[in-house]
Structure 1
Amino acid sequence: MSVVRNEISLLNGGNGTKGSALAHVIGAYVALTKPKIMVMLIVTAYSAMMVAGHHVPSILLTVKTLLGLAGSAGAGAALNMWYDRDIDGVMERTSARPLPSGVVSARAAFLFGIALAALSTVFLAVTVNGLTALLSLAGCAYYVVVYTMWLKRRTPQNIVIGGGAGAFPPLVGWAAVTGHLSWLAWLMFAVIFLWTPPHFWALALYKNEDYVRANIPMLPVVKGFRHTKIQMLVYTLLLFASTLVPCFFHGVTLVYTTLSLILGIGFTTLAIRCLMEPDHSMVWARRMFFGSLTYVPVWFLAIVIGSRGMF
């Protein structure tokens, strides 16, 4: 609390009201958790809970699971911003984040992240089950240690390997309902894992200058736009193939197959148009990025409504 009080006093600077300064600091701590990304993680976890149990899970289990997951995801985001505060200040896309803008100190962000990680892990272990807590903590650690600290500044394959961090929530949701994991839970993991490279590389294409300034070895910086676009198409095709796997089993309906085909063809078309686009133009790169934002929630909706026994 003393850290927050210090930050409020710095923001006041003798002017304004304590109420407005407190609201500003609270908003900054919320921003540390990357709430927009958190929504996507919660959607995938809840979808997995529904498919795992073949019904809508109880409100109590849902609240406990998603609250714990939100805490763990927020912890990872806060620790990511703590570690990346130097490059965040250089990149236009991230320069307004709480640490580069000076609203939250590095020490406060670090303590906030550690506290959230510890509390969310204990909460899930006590109120849900041990496997759920372990998977949630593993996702947080993967994002902070494997991706942020180890890969991001060292290799153009950073987002390929690091993409596994965002794929943990379906495992968390599945484990919360069943206490174990199945092949379908791992398929959900694989879908997010394979979706991440084309999603993030599309962003990296039209934000390339940011990564050049920050000296981050994203694929477009190291290998060029043409190579990146080819890799985007490769991962898009692998993603498409992975979404068709359930169609060969009896666990999904024609609704799922139809939606998966529409999604796969649409996303592949975006990747092809991006590849065909001249490298100086970013029209289709932007369209692919924004299109990718709808891909994951729509696919998880498809697996929910297209699973046999759900409705």
Structure 2
Amino acid sequence: MADVINGYWQLTKPGIMVMLLYTALSGMILAQRGIPSLRIIVVTLLGLAMSTGGSAALNMWYDRDIDAVMKRTVKRPIPAGIITPNQALIFGLSLIVLSFVMMAVFLNLLAATLSFAGAVYYVVIYTFWLKRSTPQNIVIGGGAGAMPPLVGWAGVTGHLSLTAVLLFLIIFLWTPPHFWSLALYKNEDYQRAGIPMMPVVKGSRNTKWQSFIYGIVLLIGSLALYFVTPLNLVYPIAAVVLGVGFLYYLTRTLREEEGSFRWARRSFFFSLAYLMLLFIAIDFSIL
């Protein structure tokens, strides 16, 4: 029984969910210029957790064939035989529907629609269509992971703004160098599964250069936030330090000899810290 409960929990990709929820919370804090009411925080984050968790479950349901041949994913609940495909399908759809209803009733229709749109984007556009058809899969599909700050902002205000769009843009620009770093050192996995990730289709050198360019644009985009919304100096200092740090890792990855992915792995893990620390800096620039 414990294995089954844990299997359902793992279907929601809890590690990714935590990051998504925190970016949504930062969007809420920025929109409120402080801490929103407990009701808004709970409804927004719970609804978003159900939406992202449901879409993750549907992602694993659809990708169960390739998950079974990739070392990184072979222990996921469906290929491991803990959860059946039908159970994952019902679980995922139920979470997404419940999320929309709860947010529409207890929050507002815009936040509910944005959360639902993010789930549909991730499942239909990214998982069903882009992931197996183009090396630009993670670039275009990155819009799904960038939705939570929009949901958080809409949950507080009932509308969107340029500031909210810039939060979306930061995550959107962060996504390619983040996932391509992973794809570089997990390249054999993606080749085995027949997934056209950038390193598989264009090679590692091309991927590293594109990641570096995205890193530069990300630094510029992150600084743009400071010029459109009132933030204290904590934010621009953090944005520069973190952005230059990310570029350092991407540069070392770019200079790494062919076949070695030590710095690609380091870039991946730094990118996780980068995003969390940048959004923490946003919060400290308000509170």
> TM bucket by the smaller chain?
over 0.9
**Equivalent-residue separation in structure 2 for 1:299 and 1:234 (angstroms):** 19
Aligned length: 287
**Equivalent-residue separation in structure 1 for 2:226 and 2:68 (angstroms):** 46
Q: Is the 8 A contact 2:163 2:229 kept in 1?
A: no
| 1:249, distance to aligned residue in structure 2 (A) | 4.2
- What amino acid sits opposite 1:154 in the alignment? S
Q: In the alignment, what sits opposite 1:239? A: 218
Bigger Rg over Cα = 1
User: Deviations for 1:54-101, whole angstroms, at most 9, x for unmatched residues?
Assistant: 011111211111000000000100000000000000100000001101
| 1:111, distance to aligned residue in structure 2 (A) | 0.7
Superposed, which structure 2 residues align to 1:110-189 within 5 Å? 110-189=89-168
The alignment status of 1:296 with 2:267, answered yes or no, reads no
Q: Is the 8 A contact 2:44 2:152 kept in 1?
A: yes
**Equivalent-residue separation in structure 2 for 1:235 and 1:158 (angstroms):** 15
Q: Identical aligned pairs, as a percentage?
A: 57
In the superposition, the TM-score normalised over structure 1's length comes to 0.91
**Equivalent-residue separation in structure 1 for 2:63 and 2:28 (angstroms):** 33
Superposed, which structure 2 residues align to 1:7-86 within 5 Å? 22-86=1-65
The alignment status of 1:219 with 2:198, answered yes or no, reads yes
Q: In the alignment, what sits opposite 2:82? A: 103
| 1:246, distance to aligned residue in structure 2 (A) | 2.6
Taking structure 1 as reference, are residues 251 and 289 closer, same or farther at Cα in structure 2, changes over 3 Å only?
Answer: same
Q: CA RMSD in A?
A: 0.9
- What amino acid sits opposite 1:171 in the alignment? L
**Equivalent-residue separation in structure 1 for 2:7 and 2:234 (angstroms):** 42
- Hey, which bits of structure 1, 4+ residues long, moved more than 4 A? none
| 1:149, distance to aligned residue in structure 2 (A) | 0.3
**Equivalent-residue separation in structure 1 for 2:264 and 2:67 (angstroms):** 22
Query: Is the partner of 1:103 in helix, strand or coil?
Result: coil
- What amino acid sits opposite 1:63 in the alignment? V
**Equivalent-residue separation in structure 2 for 1:201 and 1:190 (angstroms):** 18
| 1:107, distance to aligned residue in structure 2 (A) | 0.7
In the superposition, the TM-score normalised over structure 2's length comes to 0.98
| 1:250, distance to aligned residue in structure 2 (A) | 5.9
- What amino acid sits opposite 1:126 in the alignment? V
- What amino acid sits opposite 1:91 in the alignment? M
The alignment status of 1:195 with 2:179, answered yes or no, reads no
| 1:254, distance to aligned residue in structure 2 (A) | 1.6
